Chain A
Amino acid sequence: MTSTALESQLVVGAILFALGMIGFLTRRNLILIVLSTELMLHGVSLNLTAFGRYHGNPQGQVFTIFVLTIAACEAGLALSLILTLYQRRKSLDVFLWGNLGEDDLPVFSGGGLPPQPKSADPNAGLPHLTPAGSAPATPVTKT
């Protein structure tokens, strides 16, 4: 029995990977982002089984089983995280969490390019340290 050419399967795997990458980069729904990574994993699994078939050993399929395991872990963790995030903001939009960066970075709120930071600070061009940690407690003043 002739087997399908290895290159054809690699091409299909690459296309699935690229489609998943587009979905990961463009979608704003948290759940669809996770599903797009699963599509990328499908492309990888297809490559693994094609190589296993070509070389005539079961290693490709064994690795695909491990990919499946990690995908299941990832889906469980992603779902619990998404549920937690949803309960905070009551929405699945990624941009609602665009303010998780550092304080002095611009908040990325979608649309075109991220908004440029305002350069009201005269020392904007100089290197600076990002404030880290919590602010110290204000000393209690006796009145």
Chain B
Amino acid sequence: MKWIMENGTVLIPLVLGWLAVWLLLPREKARSRVLGSLFALGALLALQVALLPPAGNFVRDAMFYLFSSAAILSGGLMITDRNPVFAALWFALSTLAVCGLFLLNSAPFLSAATIIVYAGAIIVTFLFVIMLAQQSGAANYDHRPVQPMMASVLSFVLLGALLFALQEWGGIDGKASDEAQTGQFVALDAKTNANLFSQPPNSNKTEIGSMRVLGRSLFSDYLYVVELAGTVLLIATIGAIAIAPRRSQGTL
């Protein structure tokens, strides 16, 4: 009991979030949408009060709250929406919110690239397939999830473990006790070179995320990995071309 009282800040949003997701998951009977939405809002508020403390800068905090709430809410709506077309659109909204969070992390190039690749390419092609396959909207199998109870409990147990680990860890800035700090992340030595092409890192911290620093790291430290990623793309393209066509109808 004492343990529950002490860890209420983590437990309350977890339990509320689980109730919301479990109530809102599609099922054959009528869902209690109002109750689920109330639980979801409560979970979000409890989460922001308990786990996302403001960092001091008002504009930045407001944007962080806005983008993170949008990402979480649209992610939840994506997994609970019956209609697959709407689910794909909610996923697009979630992608946009995550791109906003990338912007806050000073990654403008990554944000633009993610919008182009996900919202521009992946969502559109998936929507094409959905429209091709399900022209009548939600099908029978979209109303019947697979074991919603077990899946949601399992996922929220995992999430609770992650959040408790984060709380026990206590943060990088040294507010944790001494024992908990043994698991701190250590920054790499500046002299560490990945390969022959590596160049000494730029010590100017304001330039992180600029195209110059990013490209420099990408094509010096990670040159081999870039080549490997290109090879993987090529192989995936060949595989997709080999798998997709209907041989019985003579398209390849």
Listed in ascending order, the chain A residues whose CB lies under 8 Å from chain B are 1-12, 14-23, 25-29, 31-32, 34-36, 38-39, 42, 45-46, 49-59, 61-62, 64-66, 68-77, 79-84, 86-87, 91-95, 110-113
The reply to whether B159 and A14 form a contact with Cβ atoms under 8 Å apart is: yes
The reply to whether B214 and A61 form a contact with Cβ atoms under 8 Å apart is: yes
Q: Please measure, in the bound complex, the distance between the C-alpha atom of A23 and the C-alpha atom of B68, giving whole angstroms.
A: 19
The reply to whether A27 and B79 form a contact with Cβ atoms under 8 Å apart is: yes
Contact of B233 among A14, A72, A84, A94 (CB under 8 A): A72
Q: Please measure, in the bound complex, the distance between the C-alpha atom of A33 and the C-alpha atom of B25, giving whole angstroms.
A: 15
Listed in ascending order, the chain B residues whose CB lies under 8 Å from chain A are 17, 21, 25, 47, 51-53, 55-57, 60-61, 64, 68, 71-72, 75-76, 78-79, 84, 87-88, 91, 94-95, 98, 101-102, 104-107, 109-110, 113-114, 117-118, 121-122, 125-126, 129-130, 132-134, 139, 141-142, 144-148, 151-152, 154-156, 158-159, 162-163, 166, 171-172, 185, 187-188, 201, 205, 208-209, 213-214, 216-218, 221-222, 225, 229, 232-233, 235-237, 239-241, 243-244, 246
The reply to whether A4 and B55 form a contact with Cβ atoms under 8 Å apart is: yes
Q: Chain A residues with Cβ under 8 A from B218's Cβ? A: 58, 62, 65
A25-B154 contact given A8-B52, A16-B75, CB 8 Å threshold: yes
29 contacts between A and B (CB under 8 A): A3-B60, A4-B55, A5-B55, A8-B68, A12-B52, A14-B162, A15-B72, A16-B72, A17-B159, A19-B21, A23-B79, A26-B25, A26-B148, A31-B133, A45-B102, A49-B102, A49-B105, A49-B107, A52-B208, A57-B188, A61-B110, A61-B214, A66-B225, A68-B114, A74-B236, A84-B244, A86-B132, A92-B141, A112-B147
The reply to whether B64 and A8 form a contact with Cβ atoms under 8 Å apart is: yes
The reply to whether A58 and B151 form a contact with Cβ atoms under 8 Å apart is: no
A28-B144 contact given A19-B72, A57-B208, CB 8 Å threshold: yes
A29-B142 contact given A12-B72, A38-B118, A76-B240, CB 8 Å threshold: yes
The reply to whether B233 and A69 form a contact with Cβ atoms under 8 Å apart is: yes
The reply to whether B214 and A58 form a contact with Cβ atoms under 8 Å apart is: yes
Q: Count contacts between A and B, CB distance < 8 Å.
A: 274
Q: Please measure, in the bound complex, the distance between the C-alpha atom of A27 and the C-alpha atom of B51, giving whole angstroms.
A: 29
| Most chain B Cβ neighbours within 10 Å, of A6, A18, A28, A32 | A18
Q: Please measure, in the bound complex, the distance between the C-alpha atom of A34 and the C-alpha atom of B104, giving whole angstroms.
A: 27
| Most chain B Cβ neighbours within 10 Å, of A1, A50, A76 | A76
Q: Chain A residues with Cβ under 8 A from B141's Cβ? A: 28-29, 91-95, 110
Q: Chain B residues with Cβ under 8 A from A53's Cβ? A: 105-107, 208-209
Q: Say whether chain B's binding surface is mostly helix, strand, loop, or mixed.
A: helix
Q: Chain A residues with Cβ under 8 A from B147's Cβ? A: 25-26, 112-113
Q: Please measure, in the bound complex, the distance between the C-alpha atom of A57 and the C-alpha atom of B76, giving whole angstroms.
A: 32
The reply to whether B117 and A68 form a contact with Cβ atoms under 8 Å apart is: yes
- Minimal beta-carbon separation of A15 from chain B (angstroms): 5
Contact of B75 among A19, A28, A57, A80 (CB under 8 A): A19
The reply to whether B142 and A28 form a contact with Cβ atoms under 8 Å apart is: yes
Q: Chain B residues with Cβ under 8 A from A42's Cβ? A: 71, 94-95, 98
6 cross-chain pairs, A with B, having the tightest CB-CB distances, nearest first? A23-B79, A73-B236, A25-B151, A80-B244, A18-B159, A26-B145
Q: Please measure, in the bound complex, the distance between the C-alpha atom of A58 and the C-alpha atom of B77, giving whole angstroms.
A: 33
A26-B122 contact given A8-B64, A18-B159, A71-B117, CB 8 Å threshold: no
A11-B94 contact given A23-B79, A62-B214, A71-B117, CB 8 Å threshold: no
Q: Chain B residues with Cβ under 8 A from A91's Cβ? A: 133, 139, 141
Q: Please measure, in the bound complex, the distance between the C-alpha atom of A69 and the C-alpha atom of B218, giving whole angstroms.
A: 13
The reply to whether B88 and A35 form a contact with Cβ atoms under 8 Å apart is: yes
Contact of B139 among A6, A14, A92, A110 (CB under 8 A): A92
